[in-house]
Amino acid sequence: MRLPDNPAGDYADAQIDDYGKLARAQFPWRPPLRMEVRARASHPAATASTEAGDMTVLRGTAGFGFWNYPFSVRGDALMLPEAVWFFYAAPPSNMALVPGIPGWGWKAQVIHSMRPGALLATVPTALATGWGRLSRNSAPAARWLQRLSGAQEALVEAELTTWHTYTLEWRAGEARFWVDGIQILRAPHPPTRPLGFVAWLDNQYAVATPQGILRFGATPTAEQWFAIDHINIQPL
C-alpha cells in the first residue's frame, strides 16, 4: 500500500478490506478468531518527541484488524467506533483515549463504544471536560473519555520499518495481542458484534482530547508505503 508524495495534504488512502459492499449486519468476522499479519513500513513510527511537521516518520494513520466502519458513505446509520486492531497514527493526530498513553504512535488497541456503559458515561464526560477547561485539570475528563470510548491500548515497541509478526486473538470475553510471540495487551470485554477486516495507509489525522478539542483533516506526506507479507485469519 503506497502513497505518493503529497505536499498539499489532499486526502489519500490505500487499503484492502472485505466489507466494501456489505451492510454492517453482514460484516464477516466475530469472535472467537485468531489473526496473524506480518508487516513493515517505509518509515519509523512517531514517538512522544515527534513534532507535527516531521516528515521522517510514517505520516497519517495505518494498521490492520477489525472495525465497524462507523463513518459509512453507503447510507448506513453512523455509529460510534468499535475496533480490535493494530493501529498507528502520527502527529498532528492526538486521540488521547487512555490516560498515560500518547494520543499517537503504533499501538495494539480495542475500542468498544457501542455498549450501555458508554451511554451512561456521556454526561459525566461532558461535565468533566467542561470542568477541566475551567480548572486546567483534565485528569477526570481523561478517565471519563476512556469509559466513554471503552478504549484499551498498549504501545508497540517493535521497529515499524522491519518485518514483525503481529497476532491477535479476539474472543467474546477478551482480546489478546502479541508481537513476535510476546504478549503486549490483554483487553477484557472487547466488542462482540460483527466487524470487517481492513489493512490501510492514509494521510488522515484526528484529534480528540480530554480538553474537548475535536478536529479532523489530511496531512502532507512524502512518498511512503506499508507492506504486508501475509494475512491469516482463522475462526477458533
- Dump the DSSP string for 10-45: ---EEEEES-TTS-GGG--B-SSEEEEEEEEESSPP
Q: What domains can be seen in the chain, in order of their start residue?
A: 2-112+150-235 (2.60.120.200)
Residues 114-123: tens digit of each pLDDT: 777 666 556 5
Lowest mean pLDDT among 96-105, 126-135, 153-162: 126-135
Which H or E run includes 83?
strand 82-89
Instruction: Give every CB contact of residue 42 below 8 A, 6+ residues apart in sequence.
Output: 58, 161, 223, 224, 225, 226, 227
78, pLDDT greater than 50? yes
Q: Taking each helix axis from N to C terminus, what angle separates 116-135 and 139-149, rounded to the nearest 10 degrees?
A: 160
Q: Closest Cα partner for 168 from 62, 37, 18? A: 37
| Mean pLDDT within 168-172 | 97
The confidence score (pLDDT) of residue 157 equals 95
Whether residue 64 contacts residue 108, with contact meaning beta carbons closer than 8 Å, is answered with no
Q: Which has more confidence, 128 or 191?
A: 191
Residues 37-50: tens digit of each pLDDT: 999 999 999 987 88
138, pLDDT greater than 90? no
Distance CA 103, CA 142 (A): 11
Lowest mean pLDDT among 48-52, 81-85, 169-173, 185-189: 48-52
The confidence score (pLDDT) of residue 43 equals 97
